[in-house]
Every structure is written in C-alpha cells, then in structure tokens.
Amino acid sequence: MTASQLLLTTMGGLTNAAYLFIVSAGLSLVFGALRVINMAHGSLYMIAAFIAAVAANALGAGLGFWGGLVLAIAVTGAIGALIEIVVLRRVYREEHLVQLLGTYALTLIIAGLVRLIFGPNLRNTPAPALFSGNFHLAGDSYSVYSMFMIVAAIAIAAGVYAMLYRTPLGRNIRAAVSDSELLSASGVNVARLFTTVFVIGAALAALGGVIVAPSQAVTATMDADVLVLAFAISVIGGLGSIVGSAVGSVIVGLVISFGLQNGSTNQFALAFVFIIMVAVLVIRPWGLFGTAEQ
Amino acid sequence: MIAVLRLTRDARFRWAVAALFIAFAAAIPPLAGLNELANPDASAKFEIFLGTEALVLALWAVSYNLMLGYSGMVSFAHAAYYGIGAYTVALLFQKLHLPVLEGLLVAPLVTAVFGLVTGMIALRAVRLYFSLLTLAISQVLFSLAFNDAGGVTGGDNGVHGLAVPDALNDYTTMYYFVGAVVALSLAVMFILTRSPFGAALAAIRENRERARSIGINVRAYELAVFTIASTFAGVAGGLFAVFQQEAYPEMLYWTQNAQPVVIALLGGIGSFLGPAIGAFVYTELSNLLSTKFSNQFDVLLGAIVLAVVLVAPGGLASLPRLFTTLRARLRDQAADEVVESSGESIERADLARVVRIEAIHADPIAERGEPLLVVEGLSRSFGGLRAVQDVNLVVHAGDRHAVIGPNGAGKSTLFNLITGRLRPDAGRVTFAGRDITGRPPHVIARAGIGRAFQITMIFPKLTVRQNLQYAMLAHRGLTVRPFGLADRMFRDEAMELLEAVGLGRYPELAAGQLSHGDQRAIELAISLALGSRLVLLDEPTAGMSAFETQKAMDLVRRVAQEKRLTLLFCEHDMEVVFGTARTVTVMHMGRVLTQGTPDDVRGNPDVQKVYLGELEEEAVV
C-alpha cells in the first residue's frame, strides 16, 4: 500500500466514522440514561435519510439539504417522543428481554411503513452546493462532502459534550445515568427528562441519517445495516460512553475502509468488525470505556 | 387416573388444548381434501404445503422458545442456525450428491457444532451484551453465506433444485414425514423442559445469582441450552431444505429471527406447545395477508409483537386468564385472585419437624471442633476503598460463629469472598481442607457452603415448593439429568421443609407473591434445603419483627444443633448474636478487631468503643 493509498483509505475510514459516531452517540446516550437498548434507533436514522433524499430532490441541492435537515429532525424527534411516551414508559421496569422485543417490534413497523411510503427503490441525494465537488491534496482527489461529514461529526461531538457537562440538562442526564431513582427523589421530573433524552437520541439518529444521505444510496435496509454497526461500536467502546462511541466509531470506520480496500478481504470487511467486537468483549465484556454492570 | 385428577384446572386446560392441536395437525391432509371437494377454489395440495411449512416453523419456534421462554435469553443468531441447517442439506446434495434425507441427519450435527462454538463466544457476556454478540455472530455467518465465502455457498443465489426422494414425492406423505420428525423433536424438547435440567434453566432465568449459590454452573447450562436450541434449529432448517428444495442466504439474516420470536410470543412463551400452535396461526395469517400486502405484513408482525409485549405478555396461551381478569375487572372485582400471605409464617414453624427432615442432613466432612473453614490473609479493595484487609478467621465444625461490626465493616464483602461472588485480591480460603480461593460460586456451593443473602434472593415466579425442590436438586448435582420429572423429585422433602418452617399453606403460590417476611423465610429455607455442611447467613432476620426474629433464630439454632451444621452469620441485632453464637468475630474498617466467646467480646473495651458503645448511645437516645 502506497502512502497516497494509505491516506485515501484513512480518509474513507474517518468519513465512515463520522456518520457512525453521530448515530451511535445517540444510541449510547439513550442507553446510558434510560438503560434501554433502542433497536429502533436505526429506523429513526432511515426515516431521516429518506426525508433528506426527498427534500433534496424536490427543493434542489441547496435549500433541500438544509430544509430536509430541519424537517428530518422535527419529524424524527416527534416520532421519538411518541415512542418514548407510548412504548418505552411501559417497559422500563420490565426485563431487558421485553425492552428488546418491544423496540424490535418498532423496527419491523417502521421498516414496513417506510417501504410503504417511499417505495422499495433506492434514492440518491445531491450534496448541498456549498460542499459539492472535490479538492486535491498530494496528488489525490477528495470529496469536499467527506470533509464536511468529518467536521460535522466533530462539531456534534463537541456539542454533545458541552450539553452533558455545561448545561443543567446535562447534569440531570449524568445524574440519571448513575441513579435515576435518587434523581427523582430530589425533585427532578424524570419522566420528562427521559423523554427529552430520547428525543435528543432520535435527533442524533436524524442528523446521522441526513448527513449520510448524500454519501451513499438511501435504501429500505439501511436501518438494519447501521444498527448492526452502531451496536458493534457501542459494544467495542462501551455502552453509555460518548468517548467510547467516538473511539469505537473510528475503529469500525477504519476497519471497514481498510477491509474493503483490499480485493481479497472485501467480502469479510464486516466480519472483521465483528471479530474485533468479539475480541473486545472477551477481554473487557463491558467495552473499552464502559463500566462493568452488576 | 389419580394423577389426572390431581391436575389443576389450568393444567387440564393445557392438556386438552394440546390434544386438540395434535388431532388437528394430524387431520390436516384429509381436512384439506374434504375442503377441496366441497369448495372448487380450494387446493388441497396448497393447504397441505402450508401445513408442512407451519410444522417446520413450529419446530423452529419451539426450539427458539427453549432459550426465550425457558431460559430468558434473547438470541439474534437462531435464524443463522436454521439457515445453516438448510445449507447443510443443500450443499451435501449439490457437492457430494448425498440424498437429502441423509443430509437431514447431518444437519443437526453441523448446527450443534456451530451453536457450541459460537455459543462459547456469545456467552462470554450476559443478558444484553449476549444478545448483541449473537447479533454480531449472526451477521458474520450471513455475510459468509451471502458473499460466497470459500466459493461453496452459491453467493446471493443460494442453492436450488434439490431432488426429493421418490417416497416423499407426494404432498401428503411429505406432510406426515415432516410431522413425524417435528413430533419426535418436540417430544425430546418437552421431556427436557420438565426434567431437572429444565428446572436449572428456570432457576437461571428467575435469578442467576441465586442459581449460582445453589450450585448451578450458570454458563454451562446456558451453553447447553444454546447448543440444544441450535441443534433443533438445524433439524428445522434441514426439513425446510427437504420440502422447499432450496437454501438461500436471507434465511440467515438477523431480521429473520422475527419469525420465531413472533410465533413464540403469539403462542405464549410460557407454554411448551404455545409456539407450535402459534406457528399454525402465523402461517395462516401470513398466507392471508402477505400475498396482497407484503409491505403491510411487516407492520402487522411488528404490531403483533408490540401488542403482545405491552398488553398480553403471555401470548395466546394467556388469553383465557386475560379474559377472566377482564371479566373480573368489568364486574368491578379484584383483577387477580390475590392470595395474601400474612408474613407471619415463621411464627408457625414446627421445630420438631424440621429436625426430622433428612434432606437437610449433610455428610460430615469434618469432625466436631476441627477447623472447617479457614480464611488466611484475605483482602479485597474497591478502587481506593479497602473493604476487607488481611482477615484471618477459623470456623470450627459444629460451631455457631457470628461476625459483627458496624455498617461498612466488611462483613458482606467477606461473605462474598468466601462464597466466590467476589474474587479476593490476596489471601486464601480453605474449606474442609480444600483450597476454594477464587473458585466460582457454584463450585463453592457444591463443596458444601450454603448461603442466605442479606437481600432476598429467591426465584420469584417459581412456586414456593419449587424454590426448595430445585435447590435440593441443584445442590445434589441432579440438574444435569435431561429426563425425569423435576416436579416429582424431592417433592415430599420440600413439602416437609415448607410445613416445618411454617410455609405449608402456600406451596403452589409464586414465591414473589409472598410478603417480605415470608420471602425471608423462603430464603432461609433454601439455605437449609441445600443440606450444606456450612451455612452462611447474611443478616438472616433483616426486616423481620421481633417475634419472627426470635422464632427464626430458634429454628436456625435448633437445626444447626441437631443436624450438626456449622453456622457463620452476620447480624446487627445483638440479642440475636449473643443468643445464638458461641464464637463472635468483630470486624471494623475491613479488619478483624477481636474474636472470642460472646462474653469475651462483650467485655472487650475496644469493641465497646467502636461498636457496642455506639449502640448503647443510640439506645439511650
């Protein structure tokens, strides 16, 4: 592998890491506070991607992208609130088995509805005019949009971090992570807090879905594809840890990129991700940055 | 006849439904024929074909329910084993020209090996992480099949065009052949679920920690059930290949697990045959809806799962009960037939009776007065906190030994270190001459150390009787038996013990329904049921009234004496301590402060300063 191939592949890996981080950060945030694995997280991401694709094709690459972003967050956030209030509230006290099955049911429902509404065909989304085109570096050509994805992910990471550590909401979320009952006893409306956290998680899924749309085909199976990767990332990084999501995303993004790069291994790129996941779990069952649960 | 009469109404109902279902399944080909005669639009062939599909799904779903319903495990890899079973038959036929029926014999062996190996990986983790790992494994297996790894799987096309043997080249014969294989497989699984092995699975599902402490090797049992389930998924997949004559990669895709999950939920995960009945309902439903509304079908499946999860967690099997509940609610009555336990059971304990129970008796493994448990230099820290520091302790056979100390003195940590729930940083624990340092809890339990926990650790959804029965089974190592009726074993002994500790009125009530005091009594009874040489009691009377406490400790003392059990207990109630113990060890800040007879300890000024003094001040206030 030459130096320029190395750079290209690494950039590809970081582009993967960018959208994967945005999605898995939402999954992890929700798990940290609510202790629920939201199987429907990928479904929210898919809804957002379809909205972005439809908006960009209808309104043009400029307005369509930004309009689609706002619309996608609004719609996905509303669906998120609905899911939390109608479904999750009833299963918090149940075994994790019930929670898995309940949110799994949502993935089936949403996937069916998306196919019904948007049809089975895949869609392409034009990148916003501001970030279209390529630039050249050391003789190689890179897409501007990839750079935008990486920058957006870093900005979102900073935003999530600031939200968690610099705002009263973040303080409550962190308190809920360590003991939600105690938090409830100290006068915080935990039910509303949980809805808020879930909506933030849904918004992150939406951001991931909109941002990824111009970089790959929008299909009706992208919910499962991203969910599986987001799980792998959360398990590698440790469920509930935002830092873990970031590190896990970079690992998974790079592994996929380098795996696909080589003709003899591209069939197994996904398998490598899961082999790493298994290896991490065998050594540290609670992930690199997670905390052991009793 | 007597056995039948003894069945409860619920059980009679279940057997009747099962008999009806089996009769219905057996009559499908003639019924389809009659339907064709009466109704020119109907095709008997097609209906028999659907019936065959339902049979295969029934086997697949029941095997899934071995994990979901019986062991409380959610696996996303079960479709992968189903697919591998189909691929085994298909590839053996295509590459080696092995007839499909011979391939069908090989399929479960192959999926058993896959299940065992991948299960060993997945069961490195528990619960949620286990589920996520099975998802990962499933995706790896899918991508290998889909991407034609090794050039044998046929890539995204899969393998088609298997030849059916002449003998089965007829829909009706095929139906009965598949039916026979499914019936045989279900029979094996049915025996398994009612055996002591099944009892261990139920115990694990209800309370892993408690299961360990009665001597069950939780991971080994989970691996066993995972492997067994994947074996039968292989049979189901193999049957699929035989009658559909193909195998394709989508069979392995993780969302395919929706099928057995939906079917199991639909039929009721709490019943054995429920998922099988669910398979017929599901097949009919999908036949009615999927051809016209293939997109809406997923939505419908999701809606069913959601409805079951939120409204009727018991599935179809619980509908009669749900109906009764609803009717009662409409009539403005109490929704459930709540049998309140009074919480005063222990007051009715019959000491003379407890003493006669032979199940409690343990083989003497040390002579009276010899050291039975020796703890040397035991230490354990949590972060910066040294919970237990360099503790030395000798418990002599036949002694009643109390460990006391203020909150945070390290008593519970010490108990957790002895019973293997925690691993020590340093030091050694020897029991009856055997080094048990850092051994897993089930090994230590089987070596002869029983335990009652400070927080109540029972099996909430099992009956009170089963709580004791399964403890007796597990502790004697009988739960490895995959046959026999667990509920008939140690039944009398368990009943005897229940009567003796005053719980005789509620043998068939779910243990979790009892009041706190009665649950404490079960906790105590479990630790006695084990017949352990050494019984560790962590605040056995926490939450009991003064009278209950006295009665419970009388019981403990009497049993220990008569049955030559050795007791090691910790307790805050000084009356209990000085009334029961013959040796007292005082702990303070993770260290042993002093040890001696109750009188020595009472007179020790240091003890009074750190411990008794505090209490007396409290008493004055």
- The interface predicted TM-score (ipTM) is 0.85
Residue B377 in tokens: 């230099």
Are A96 and B265 a contacting pair at CB < 8 A? no
Question: What per-residue confidence (pLDDT) applies to B144?
Answer: 85
Q: What is the pLDDT of residues B154-172, one digit of tens each?
A: 888 899 988 988 888 889 9
CA distance B452 to A157: 47
- Interface check for A291 against chain B (CB to CB < 8 A): the answer is no
Chain A residues in contact with B117 (beta carbon < 8 A):
none
When pLDDT is cut at 50, 70 and 90, the band that residue B336 belongs to is very low
Are B125 and A111 a contacting pair at CB < 8 A? no
Q: Are B612 and B619 in contact (CB under 8 A)?
A: no
Nearest residue, CB atoms, B295 vs list A115, A281, A285: A115
Question: What per-residue confidence (pLDDT) applies to B335?
Answer: 42
CA distance A184 to B49: 57
What is the distance in angstroms between the Cα of B352 and the nearest Cα belonging to chain A? 40
Q: Are B524 and B501 in contact (CB under 8 A)?
A: yes
Question: What per-residue confidence (pLDDT) applies to B616?
Answer: 47
Beta bridge partners of residue B246, listed in sequence order: B160
Question: What per-residue confidence (pLDDT) applies to A284?
Answer: 82
B348 vs B178: which has the higher pLDDT: B178
CA distance B344 to B395: 32
Q: How many CA atoms lie within 13 A of A152 on its CB side?
A: 24
Residue found under tokens 């017949």: B531
Q: What is the pLDDT of residues B272-329, one digit of tens each?
A: 999 999 999 989 888 887 777 766 778 888 888 888 888 766 555 565 566 666 666 6
Q: How many CA atoms lie within 13 A of B551 on its CB side?
A: 23
B220 vs B13: which has the higher pLDDT: B220
Q: What is the pTM of this model?
A: 0.86
Per-residue DSSP letter, A133: S
Residue found under tokens 């340093």: B426
CA distance A257 to A13: 5
When pLDDT is cut at 50, 70 and 90, the band that residue B339 belongs to is low
Q: Are A100 and A91 in contact (CB under 8 A)?
A: no
B235 vs B362: which has the higher pLDDT: B235
CA distance B311 to B304: 10
Chain A residues in contact with B304 (beta carbon < 8 A):
105
The residue ranges of DSSP E strands in chain A, in sequence order, are 134-137, 140-143
DSSP assignment string, A16-29: HHHHHHHHHHHHHH
- Interface check for A115 against chain B (CB to CB < 8 A): the answer is yes
The most confident of the ranges B80-94, B502-516, B545-559 is B80-94
Mean pLDDT to the nearest integer, B380-394: 89
* B620: number of Cβ within 10 Å: 6
Examine the pLDDT at B50 and tell me if it is beyond 50: yes
When pLDDT is cut at 50, 70 and 90, the band that residue B374 belongs to is very high
- Interface check for B295 against chain A (CB to CB < 8 A): the answer is yes
CB under 8 Å to B296, separation ≥6 — which residues? A112, A116, B289
Residue A262 in tokens: 């080589």
Residue to mutate among B132, B207, B296, with most A CBs inside 10 A, is: B132
Q: What percent of chain B has pLDDT over 90?
A: 41
Q: What is the pLDDT of residues B406-428, one digit of tens each?
A: 888 889 899 999 999 999 999 99
Question: What per-residue confidence (pLDDT) applies to A72?
Answer: 96
B560 vs B368: which has the higher pLDDT: B560
Q: Are A13 and A31 in contact (CB under 8 A)?
A: no
B203 vs A224: which has the higher pLDDT: B203
Q: Are A160 and A242 in contact (CB under 8 A)?
A: yes
Question: What per-residue confidence (pLDDT) applies to B359?
Answer: 63
Sign, CA torsion B323/B329/B334/B335: positive
The distance between the two most distant Cα atoms of chain A, rounded to a whole number of Å, is 61
Residue to mutate among A83, A98, A264, A281, with most B CBs inside 10 A, is: A281
What is the distance in angstroms between the Cα of A98 and the nearest Cα belonging to chain B? 6
Q: Are A209 and A49 in contact (CB under 8 A)?
A: yes
Question: If we measure between CA atoms, which residue out of B54, B45, B36, B24 comes closest to residue B285?
Answer: B54
Question: What per-residue confidence (pLDDT) applies to B136?
Answer: 81
- Interface check for A265 against chain B (CB to CB < 8 A): the answer is no
Examine the pLDDT at B211 and tell me if it is beyond 80: yes
Per-residue DSSP letter, B73: -
- Interface check for B269 against chain A (CB to CB < 8 A): the answer is no
Question: What per-residue confidence (pLDDT) applies to B617?
Answer: 47
To the nearest 10°, report the CA torsion of A173, A178, A179, A180.
20
Q: What is the pLDDT of residues B513-536, one digit of tens each?
A: 888 878 888 888 888 777 788 999
pLDDT lower than 50: segments of chain A = 294
Examine the pLDDT at B99 and tell me if it is beyond 70: yes
Chain A residues in contact with B302 (beta carbon < 8 A):
105-110, 112
* B49: number of Cβ within 10 Å: 17
Question: If we measure between CA atoms, which residue out of B206, B315, B330, B185 comes closest to residue B262?
Answer: B315
Question: What per-residue confidence (pLDDT) applies to B337?
Answer: 46
Q: Which residue of A has its CA nearest to B133?
A: A278
Q: Are B458 and B523 in contact (CB under 8 A)?
A: yes
B341 vs B77: which has the higher pLDDT: B77
Residues in chain B: 621
Q: What is the pLDDT of residues A88-105, one digit of tens each?
A: 998 887 777 788 888 989
- Interface check for A113 against chain B (CB to CB < 8 A): the answer is yes
Chain A residues in contact with B144 (beta carbon < 8 A):
268, 271
Nearest residue, CB atoms, A116 vs list B140, B295, B310: B295
Question: If we measure between CA atoms, which residue out of B356, B353, B408, B418 comes closest to residue B382?
Answer: B408
Question: What per-residue confidence (pLDDT) applies to A265?
Answer: 61
Nearest residue, CB atoms, B136 vs list A112, A224, A232: A232
- The amino acid sitting at B213 is S
Are A282 and B124 a contacting pair at CB < 8 A? yes
Q: Are A244 and B119 in contact (CB under 8 A)?
A: no
Question: What per-residue confidence (pLDDT) applies to B235?
Answer: 98
Query: Cα angle vertex B341, ends B335, B345, to 5°?
Result: 170
Chain A residues in contact with B127 (beta carbon < 8 A):
96
Question: What per-residue confidence (pLDDT) applies to B419?
Answer: 93
Examine the pLDDT at B2 and tell me if it is beyond 60: no
